[in-house]
């Protein structure tokens, strides 16, 4: 398919029922059902061309930006983890009281894809890179994970609970979506 000229395009076929497209590292990856023809895939790409081009441009801009930013070293990550072990449990205690939930062990990790998680048993995990974000971002992640103690899903009720406790949640979620990849990409480890 020559729709995007010199851009790497990978088509992965599976038993899925729908088609999807992601853009990462200057390449396009399409996931499509076995039964979908090349013409249908090309039509899908043409229909979403504006979004793909915009995302590719953002991807290139991020890559250029990262070349000018200092790498986050292993030593930096160790320091961030130590700081997180002091700061995050305090924020968890504060918001657990406001939400009215209990929780288990808190673990601080160095993760490349996740900012926080909550297990069914209440164990909380947080990314040490949260120490590089504004405090409001950290609080938004803490509230998000603690609300999973009431709702182990992403339902309307779950988000209503988050917004009840943290009305600015959407603002800081947007900040993290716009800046989080940059932080994660800076990791040299």
Q: What is the pTM of this model?
A: 0.72
For residue 63, which of 11, 14, 32, 24 has the smallest C-alpha distance? 24
Domains and CATH numbers, the chain: 9-68 (no CATH), 74-185 (3.30.2010.10)
20 backbone dihedrals φ, ψ, rounded to 5°:
-145, 165
Convert the pLDDT of each residue in 10-53 to its tens digit: 999 999 999 999 988 788 999 999 999 999 999 999 999 999 99
Amino acid 70: pLDDT? 80
């Amino acid at each position: 398919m020559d729709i995007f000229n010199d851009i790497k395009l990978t088509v992965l076929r599976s038993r899925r029922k729908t088609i999807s497209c992601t853009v990462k590292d200057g390449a396009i990856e399409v996931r499509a059902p076995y039964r979908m023809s090349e013409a249908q895939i090309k039509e899908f790409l043409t229909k979403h061309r504006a979004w793909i081009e915009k995302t590719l441009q953002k991807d290139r801009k991020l890559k250029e930006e990262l070349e000018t930013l200092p790498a986050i070293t292993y030593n930096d990550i160790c320091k961030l983890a130590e700081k997180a072990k002091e700061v995050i449990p305090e924020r968890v205690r504060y918001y657990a009281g406001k939400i009215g939930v209990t929780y288990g062990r808190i673990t601080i990790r160095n993760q490349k894809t996740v900012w926080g998680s909550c297990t069914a048993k209440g164990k909380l995990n947080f990314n040490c890179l949260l120490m590089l974000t504004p405090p409001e971002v950290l609080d938004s992640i803490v509230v998000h994970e603690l609300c999973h103690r009431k709702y182990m899903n992403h339902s309307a009720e779950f988000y209503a609970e988050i917004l009840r406790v943290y009305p600015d949640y959407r603002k800081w979620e947007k900040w993290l979506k716009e800046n989080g990849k940059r932080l994660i990409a800076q990791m040299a480890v």
